[in-house]
């Protein structure tokens, strides 16, 4: 009887199990959530994948167009409210955009109760860098406060063709360390004539920013000449830095533990209000010269003979847009043959603009004797300081041709001389040697001369020199120990050459020294040691039978390179570390 009762209840249990299984699969949610759909190039994006049931085999998207800064981090929350259980599980990523544009974060998938669930793709728009990014990480927040890229513009309301300078300077607080810059976005300077005057190896200086002590370095120096009036925009200049930020944690020795992050900083968009040159009082011969100039016209000689030549120079010197206007042309009589001018430019550009001299040099050849005036030439320019136009007139010059054929033509009203048949004179082409007075060259023989016997004896003299050289080379080849020492010394100098150039500059020296040590091990051990810890590198050296003293010296140098980021080091200490590095590399090379 009892067995029949259980048999009757079995269908009910089976039905309840099926309904429970359906209930478990119903109401499953798996979705992707973004912290924002639009962000700047220097901001961070948080991507969460949330589900209300536990699952396995989570597969994230490939995050094309982004770099994963942190993740995946996992969080789980579970609670009971009025007998109802709620469960949430989240996989979180923090990513940084690599370029501007619109990107799609693809599907992710997970298996829940034997069934595959996928999220829907979502689009993210990445704009230019913003002035105040809303970072998601504490490390980024600290970096925002202590890392600033500033565009210093010399003048925000210049005239057209007036020089302005833009200096991009990076300020780094003493509380953090920044290195390894990478340029992401360079302004195009549309509607400006631009010239880059950045110097190589710009030094790091102690500076102040908003009243606080900072270290500063100039990344770029530009001189711009606006080519049109109105509001012109300078696009942002964006770079990526690797930043070491101190955390609240301490190491075994009580020193702060640093967290590494990649930070994108930008000198924001700047607007320049360019004023048009005034129309009132503008000279007719004005060709766009803006600045403070001097003008002169001169000739290499004022008296010459027909068929000889002279140089007439039209020159403008001073400070302004020397490369952006045309020099005035002289008006010469038709009896003077004039060749195309030779342009000469002696201009240097500084932050205050271009200064120097530009000139056109004309070659003039008169055909007839007589006096030929070169009329005055005028040059006009606009001075932004006085906000007025100025015109400079040259003096009239007279070219006196003392001898040559006479010109029997008449002079027109405009001063031009009509061309006539040229009557050749006896000495017109006197510079051509019609009677060269050539002499025959005497014949000489080389045989039985002193030079003949010297050439015969020369090979005999070279034989003992060749024998001595060969013996020296053989001795050096047999000196195995000496060759190893010389080879090790050359190797050390090769890898430490860059570090030696930056002796005295703490940050640059220790960065170069650390790279030299890692590059040396990479070349010798054929592995990427920059990805290894100091303990792993020490273990590798022990495995290669490097003695304890040399190993400790190598690891000590790596520690000094790390400590140099936040500790003061003297030039004496740098020299000692350089000498130790040379000795350690030489010793390791001999032992390996």
User: In terms of pLDDT, which residue wins out, 492 or 548?
Assistant: 548
DSSP designation for 479: -
Give me 122's structure tokens. 């979502």
Whether 164 and 108 have beta carbons less than 8 Å apart is answered as: no
**What is the pLDDT, as a whole number, of residue 388?**
93
Among the listed residues 501, 517, 513, the one whose alpha carbon sits nearest the alpha carbon of residue 201: 501
**What is the pLDDT, as a whole number, of residue 293?**
94
- Tens-digit pLDDT profile for residues 345-404: 999 988 888 899 999 999 988 888 888 888 899 999 999 999 999 999 998 888 888 887
Give yes or no for residue 529 having a pLDDT over 70.
no
Whether 419 and 409 have beta carbons less than 8 Å apart is answered as: yes
Residue 318: HSE in the Cβ half-sphere, 13 Å Cα cutoff: 15
- Tens-digit pLDDT profile for residues 262-289: 778 888 788 899 999 999 889 998 989 9
Whether 514 and 506 have beta carbons less than 8 Å apart is answered as: no
291-401 with 480-591: one CATH topology?
Answer: no
Distance CA(245)–CA(247), nearest Å, equals 6
Phi, then psi, of 281 in degrees rounded to 5: 80, 10
Whether 389 and 283 have beta carbons less than 8 Å apart is answered as: yes
User: In terms of pLDDT, which residue wins out, 571 or 468?
Assistant: 468
Q: Mean pLDDT score of the chain, rounded to an integer? A: 78
Residue 439: HSE in the Cβ half-sphere, 13 Å Cα cutoff: 3
Burial of 317 (C-beta count, 10 Å sphere; 0-12/13-18/19+): middle
Angle at 376 between CA 375 and CA 377, to 5 degrees: 115
Distance CA(560)–CA(577), nearest Å, equals 8
Give me 247's structure tokens. 């955390």
Band (pLDDT 50/70/90 cuts) for residue 417 is: very low
Q: In which residue are the tokens 């051509």 written?
A: 432
**What is the pLDDT, as a whole number, of residue 425?**
47
Give me 226's structure tokens. 């606006």
Instruction: Identify the weakest region by mean pLDDT among 3-7, 305-309, 337-341.
Output: 3-7
Band (pLDDT 50/70/90 cuts) for residue 21 is: very low
**Domain limits of the chain?**
24-127, 138-274, 291-401, 480-591
- Is domain 480-591 given the CATH code 1.20.120 in the classification? yes
Using only C-alpha atoms, the chain has a radius of gyration, in whole angstroms, of 41
- Structural element, H or E, at residue 270: strand 270-274
> Can you give the pTM of this predicted structure?
0.48
Q: In which residue are the tokens 């405009």 written?
A: 414
Instruction: Identify the weakest region by mean pLDDT among 94-108, 229-243, 425-439, 489-503.
Output: 425-439
Distance CA(326)–CA(138), nearest Å, equals 57
Choices 2.40.10.330, 1.20.1260.10, 2.20.25.10, 2.60.40.10: CATH for 24-127 = 2.60.40.10
- Tens-digit pLDDT profile for residues 134-178: 544 457 777 777 888 888 898 889 999 999 999 998 898 877 877
Give yes or no for residue 11 having a pLDDT over 60.
no
Residue 185: count other Cβ atoms within 10 Å of its Cβ: 19
Give yes or no for residue 30 having a pLDDT over 80.
yes
**What is the pLDDT, as a whole number, of residue 501?**
77
Phi, then psi, of 430 in degrees rounded to 5: -65, -20
User: In terms of pLDDT, which residue wins out, 429 or 462?
Assistant: 462
Whether 171 and 207 have beta carbons less than 8 Å apart is answered as: yes
Give yes or no for residue 486 having a pLDDT over 70.
no
Choices 2.60.40.10, 2.40.30.10, 2.60.40.740, 3.30.1330.10: CATH for 291-401 = 2.60.40.740
Burial of 319 (C-beta count, 10 Å sphere; 0-12/13-18/19+): middle
Q: Helix, strand, coil proportions of the chain in percent (round to 5)?
A: 25, 40, 35
């Amino acid at each position: 009887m009892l067995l029949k009762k259980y048999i009757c209840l079995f269908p009910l249990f089976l039905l309840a199990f099926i309904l429970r299984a359906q209930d478990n699969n119903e109401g499953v949610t798996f979705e992707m959530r973004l912290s924002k759909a639009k962000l700047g190039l220097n901001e961070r994006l948080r991507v969460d994948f949330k589900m209300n049931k536990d699952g396995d085999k989570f597969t994230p998207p490939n995050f094309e167009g982004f770099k994963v800064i942190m993740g995946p981090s996992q969080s789980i929350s579970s609670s009971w409210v009025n007998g109802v259980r709620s469960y949430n599980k989240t996989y979180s990523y923090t990513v940084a955009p690599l370029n501007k544009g619109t990107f799609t974060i693809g599907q992710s998938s997970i298996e829940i109760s034997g069934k595959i669930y996928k999220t829907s793709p979502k689009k993210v728009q990445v704009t230019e860098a913003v002035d105040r990014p809303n970072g998601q990480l504490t490390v980024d927040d600290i970096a925002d406060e202590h890392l600033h890229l500033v565009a210093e513009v010399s003048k925000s309301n210049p005239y057209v063709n007036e020089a302005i300078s833009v200096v991009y300077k990076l300020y780094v607080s003493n509380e953090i360390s920044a290195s390894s810059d990478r340029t992401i976005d360079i302004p195009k300077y549309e509607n400006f004539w631009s010239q880059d005057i950045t110097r190589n190896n710009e030094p790091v200086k102690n500076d102040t920013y908003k009243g606080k002590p900072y270290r500063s370095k100039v990344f770029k120096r530009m001189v711009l000449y606006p080519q049109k009036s109105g509001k012109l925009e300078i696009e942002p200049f964006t770079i990526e830095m690797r930043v070491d930020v101190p955390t609240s944690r301490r190491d075994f020795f009580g020193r702060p533990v640093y967290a590494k992050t990649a930070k994108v900083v930008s000198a924001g968009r700047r607007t320049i209000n360019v004023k048009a040159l005034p129309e009132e009082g503008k000279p007719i011969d004005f060709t766009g010269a803006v600045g403070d100039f001097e003008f002169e016209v001169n000739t290499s000689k004022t008296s010459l003979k027909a068929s000889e030549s002279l140089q007439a120079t039209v020159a403008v010197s001073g400070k302004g847009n020397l490369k952006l206007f045309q020099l005035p042309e002289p008006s010469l009589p038709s009896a003077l043959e004039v060749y195309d001018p030779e342009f000469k430019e002696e201009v240097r550009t500084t932050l205050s603009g271009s200064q120097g001299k530009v000139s056109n040099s004309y070659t003039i050849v008169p055909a007839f004797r007589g006096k030929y005036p070169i009329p005055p030439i005028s040059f006009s320019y606009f001075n932004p300081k006085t906000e007025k136009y100025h015109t400079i007139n040259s003096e009239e010059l007279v070219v006196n041709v003392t001898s040559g054929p006479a010109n029997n033509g008449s002079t027109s009203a405009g001063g031009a001389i009509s061309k006539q048949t040229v009557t050749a004179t006896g000495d017109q082409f006197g510079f051509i040697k019609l009677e060269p007075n050539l002499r025959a060259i005497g014949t000489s023989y080389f045989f039985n001369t002193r030079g003949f016997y010297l050439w015969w004896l020369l090979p005999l003299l070279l034989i003992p020199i060749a024998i001595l050289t060969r013996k020296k080379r053989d001795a050096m080849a047999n000196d195995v120990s000496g060759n190893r020492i010389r080879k090790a010394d050359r190797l050390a100098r090769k890898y430490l050459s860059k570090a030696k150039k930056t002796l005295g500059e703490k940050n640059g020296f220790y960065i170069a020294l650390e790279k030299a040590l890692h590059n040396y091990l990479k070349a010798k051990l054929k592995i990427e040691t920059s990805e290894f810890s100091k303990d792993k590198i020490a273990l590798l050296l022990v495995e290669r039978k490097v003695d304890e003293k040399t190993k400790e010296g190598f690891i000590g140098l790596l520690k000094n390179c790390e400590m140099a980021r936040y500790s003061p080091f003297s030039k004496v200490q740098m020299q000692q570390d350089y000498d130790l590095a040379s000795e350690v590399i030489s010793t390791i090379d001999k032992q390996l």
